[in-house]
Structure 1
Amino acid sequence: MQAALIFATKVLVSAKSVWTIRKIYQQYEVHMYGGDSGHLWSSIGGQKRGMPGNFDAGRFQTLDAGVKEGVCAIPLSRPIFTGLILFIWTLTCVGELRRTVELFRRLVCHGSTSSRFLRVTIETQDSHDIFKLKTLGLNARALITLLIVLPRLGITFALLELGSRFLLATTSFENLIVNVLALAVIKDIKDLIYSTVVSAHDKRELELTRIAIADGDRRERSSLQSMLQASVWLIAAVAFVWLYMFRFQSVLPDYQWDVKRVCSPWIQERFVERSD
């Protein structure tokens, strides 16, 4: 279901948003650089971009009102705000990746291998029977990898790419927040299905199931090394946001960073409240 929803969002929603924002930005470029073919060049996909030195800020006053409103809402015109929203979305996906990697590490990589499919012991704890997963066979590890770990990794990476592209194609700053919440719903579809479809008895048994801790994990203590290892995820999220916005984004190929200087006064005049 997640895969189908991701595909539908990419084809029916994200693609239209990308087409719209490219059209608006091209109209802006052609107008602000005089419309002369000698002042323009063609980017990827034939998108028109202005030649350096030919930008005329005064032409913004004669720009069509609809184009003016649309171009001043381009997310890349406010890189700090957009970067924060994209960082929140990236952290959401990084958290999912980290949980998946931890699941793979504890279930597949660690622990002894059993000739059985799996071995579970029952222990009593606080008057409750606890199911402790001791070992997994090779077949069980292979199934977990193929049916759980790899699909979760693939879906998370697909969501990260789709969400980042969709957010940068959103031509409304207020909708940036709405869209990041909508993307989070797609990510959490599996949890919704679990909470709605799985019976209370099965949920209870899963809550009482524990994974036997490996000896190395049992001896591990908080240290500078463990803190640095955890911070790698944060560094990776920051690096991804910066690289995606300033190097790899393809929503607006060869974006000129020439919107903010003319849109800031226009936004200040119309939308920023003044205290009397």
Structure 2
Amino acid sequence: MSSRDLAVMGSKTAESASSASEEDTEAAEGAGTDEDPLHEEHEPLEESIYGWAVSMVVRDVVWLSEGTAVPAHRVARVLNSIFLILLTNSLQAFLLLFVSRLLTAPAVLNIRKTYGKYEALMYPNHTTLTVNGFDRGIPGFRVEENFMKMDLEEQRGICQVPLSHAWYLISILFIWTLTCQIEMRAIFETAVRLLWRTPTVPSTQDVTKPDEGQDHLVKVEGLTLVMKTIIGVFVLIPRTVMLLLLNYLGCRWLTATLGLGDVLLNGLALEFLVLLKELLYNVCISHRNRVDTQRLLVKPLRDVNKATFCTFFDAQVWGVISIAWALYYVYRFQMVLPDYRLDLRDMRGKYLPKGPWF
């Protein structure tokens, strides 16, 4: 074989090796490609009194800075949005105060008296006092026969203490907390989208960008520091504080409710306090303003939603937090019945008849 033939063979071998290397590289790049990516576009804010207020502030401040034929109307709409936010927060605070004073406090006092009387009867001459001044029995000195000294109505009443049906109470508190988590998730996502994902811009001229494909559609590309401060101080912080107080007060009221059926009904009654923002929005906001809210688009949580374990299951953390809070509240945090002895479960099972399942 001539040297020329050897050179040709070497060249072909090098070309095939290079081609194989390129194919391996392409295969490796293909293996690393993200599967089924979801590219997200700008989205509207939630349709509530809070989403409307943010939309009005952004729209009208931009109009006022760039020039408008109706400046008085737009100033009035900005002031009106701030007023309705303050009204919503004040109304929630008012209702929380009076639910605490007129409903929760009497219920807590009633259940403490009922359980304290039971403990004094079941542990004669062997009780201690709680920080609230109610009797608690000393373990090992319970006289079970004393349970029969109560009439049937008293027996049924004491066995209706929600803490004696711990898993039933936990399930109700779990559902109540889930109801609050709808609001908490909306607050969290709004804060991330407006304060974190949306860049801070120096001028209102950089805040919005009209969408050329649809009339009256506006995309928010940035927010000024003043706008972010107003959103945080007047919308997000008060909303978060009210929600946390409402959740705690609701858990306390439900735990203090004597009557298992009433626990469920009270849980349903509490929901309207969470829905107040939708009630005001649907009743008090004009059609024009609702359209303005729907057509103001802000950045999504992620520009690209990749197919990952996190994006598939991250929202379920809200459910985990809810059940963890319900368990922690019942077994550790509740102060409705301090030093609760867990001594009613066996008594109700032993002395009170059980009805049929169906």
TM over 0.5: yes
What is the deviation of 1:266? 4.4
Classify the secondary structure of the residue corresponding to 1:45: coil
Structure 2 residue aligned with 1:185, among 257, 261, 272?
272
Distance 1:267 1:102 in 2: 49
Is the Cα–Cα contact under 8 Å of residues 177 and 326 in structure 2 kept in the other structure?
yes
Classify the secondary structure of the residue corresponding to 1:252: coil
What is the deviation of 1:129? 3.3
Q: Please state if 1:26 is matched with 2:116.
A: yes
Q: Report the CA distance shift for 1:134/1:252 in structure 2 as closer, same or farther (over 3 A).
A: same
Q: Please state if 1:52 is matched with 2:139.
A: yes
Distance 1:23 1:234 in 2: 35
Classify the secondary structure of the residue corresponding to 1:24: helix
The Cα offsets for residues 170-203 of structure 1, whole Å up to 9 and x where unpaired, read as 1011111111111111111121111111111111
- State how 1:1-276 maps to structure 2 within 5 Å: 1-34=91-124, 36=125, 39-117=126-204, 119-125=207-213, 128-213=215-300, 217-227=302-312, 229-269=314-354, 272-273=355-356
What is the deviation of 1:111? 2.2
Distance 1:204 1:264 in 2: 58
Distance 2:240 2:315 in 1: 19
Classify the secondary structure of the residue corresponding to 1:132: strand
The structure with the largest strand share of the pair is 1
The Cα offsets for residues 189-232 of structure 1, whole Å up to 9 and x where unpaired, read as 12111111111111121112211347xx1123241133454333
Distance 1:100 1:274 in 2: 42
Is the Cα–Cα contact under 8 Å of residues 197 and 299 in structure 2 kept in the other structure?
no
What is the deviation of 1:152? 0.9
Distance 1:274 1:166 in 2: 28
Is the Cα–Cα contact under 8 Å of residues 254 and 267 in structure 2 kept in the other structure?
yes
Higher mean C-alpha deviation, range 250-259 or range 198-207: 198-207
Distance 2:178 2:186 in 1: 12
Distance 2:145 2:351 in 1: 12
What is the deviation of 1:256? 0.3
Q: Structure 2 regions of 5+ residues with no counterpart?
A: 1-90
Q: Report the CA distance shift for 1:224/1:156 in structure 2 as closer, same or farther (over 3 A).
A: same
Classify the secondary structure of the residue corresponding to 1:155: helix
Distance 2:312 2:327 in 1: 23
Aligned partner of 2:211: which letter?
E
Aligned residues: CA RMSD: 1.8
Classify the secondary structure of the residue corresponding to 1:129: coil
% of aligned pairs identical?
29
TM-score (norm 2): 0.71
Q: Report the CA distance shift for 1:222/1:180 in structure 2 as closer, same or farther (over 3 A).
A: farther
Structure with bigger gyration radius: 2
Distance 1:28 1:208 in 2: 61
TM-score (norm 1): 0.91
Distance 1:193 1:24 in 2: 40
Higher mean C-alpha deviation, range 61-70 or range 90-99: 61-70
What is the deviation of 1:253? 0.3
Is the Cα–Cα contact under 8 Å of residues 93 and 160 in structure 1 kept in the other structure?
yes
Q: Structure 1 regions of 5+ residues with no counterpart?
A: none
Distance 1:262 1:154 in 2: 41
Distance 2:305 2:153 in 1: 60
Q: Which has the higher contact order (CA 8 A, sep 6+)?
A: 2
Distance 1:67 1:124 in 2: 72
